[in-house]
Amino acid sequence: MDGTQAARGGGLAGRDRVRDWLAVMVFIVAAAGILVLAAATLLWGSVDDKRQVFPTLVALFGTWVGTILAFYFSRENFQAANDSLQRTVDRLTPDDRLRSTPVRIAMIPRSSIEGVGTGGEPDDRIPLSAICGLLAKKPRIPLIEPDGSLRYIVHDSMVWKYLADLAIAGQPKKPADLTVAEMLAHRLDGETIGAMVKKVAYVAADRSLAEARDAMLAVKGAKDVIVTRTGRSGEPVEGWVTDVDIARHAQVQ
């Protein structure tokens, strides 16, 4: 247990002691008050007073006792249930967490995906600036076909490395003067960017995050999983899961 957890635990223990002391004092004061009132009624009250006061005192005393007991038992039961749940969660491994998390819960839904619509145009008709504009806000940009399916996903590192290579070669150009096709033909580390952007896995919408991870690992170099109705490419995109999303959900808190 670190210093923060110890301090938190000490604070909780202190509050528990104050609460216990307060409950005992309330019980003692209430009981003493009832006893004093009962004694005064016995000594100086009339017969009618005695008949009215005692039933009232018994009911009041029972209410006080019942309230205090309910407070303690409900608190202890809640704490026990909460501790049990926390122990169960703590025992979950990263694989357990991924298996228990549906893809639909973890994915970025289609309505929240910021991408570039291809309009059915070929890559040599799409200016690179269309992608660079979004890369200023997002590190990965999917290109979406008119039917809602994915063409591929471009990562910012690919674009910036391509532009840097042009500058190093003495051929600097602005993104507006380049097409996506020209970038895709460029080679990075012995592989064309065109091959790299197509390294995407697919998974059905009813699968778990563990299955999405396995699908991604099956595609060498993939960092993205596209969610479709049946898990096949060519279908409309329903969601998107990245390697970052999977790593975050796998973390044991």
Nearest CA among 120, 119, 116 for reference residue 134:
116
Non-local (6+) Cβ contacts of 108 within 8 A are 239, 240, 241, 242, 245
Q: Which tokens hold the place of 215?
A: 């699908």
Complete DSSP assignment for 181-215: HHHHHSEETTEEHHHHTT--EEEETTSBHHHHHHH
Per-residue model confidence (pLDDT) at position 21: 73
**Domain 98-250, CATH homologous superfamily name and number:** CBS-domain (3.10.580.10)
Q: Which residue has the tokens 């563990």?
A: 210
Query: Is the Cβ–Cβ distance between 106 and 249 less than 8 Å?
Result: yes
Per-residue model confidence (pLDDT) at position 32: 75
Which amino acid type is present at position 12?
A: L
Per-residue model confidence (pLDDT) at position 75: 57
Q: What is the pLDDT along the chain (253 residues), one digit of tens a residue?
A: 444 444 444 555 566 676 667 667 766 776 777 677 667 666 766 666 556 666 666 666 667 666 766 666 565 555 665 665 565 555 568 888 899 999 999 999 999 999 999 999 999 999 999 999 899 889 999 999 999 999 999 999 999 999 999 999 999 999 999 999 999 999 998 999 999 999 999 999 999 999 999 999 999 999 999 999 999 999 999 999 999 999 999 885 5
Query: Is the Cβ–Cβ distance between 50 and 42 less than 8 Å?
Result: yes
Rounded CA-CA distance 47/169 in Å is 111
Per-residue model confidence (pLDDT) at position 4: 45
What is the residue extent of each domain of the chain? 3-91, 98-250
Q: Is the pTM of this model over 0.75?
A: no
Per-residue model confidence (pLDDT) at position 192: 98
Q: Which tokens hold the place of 4?
A: 């923060």
Per-residue model confidence (pLDDT) at position 6: 47
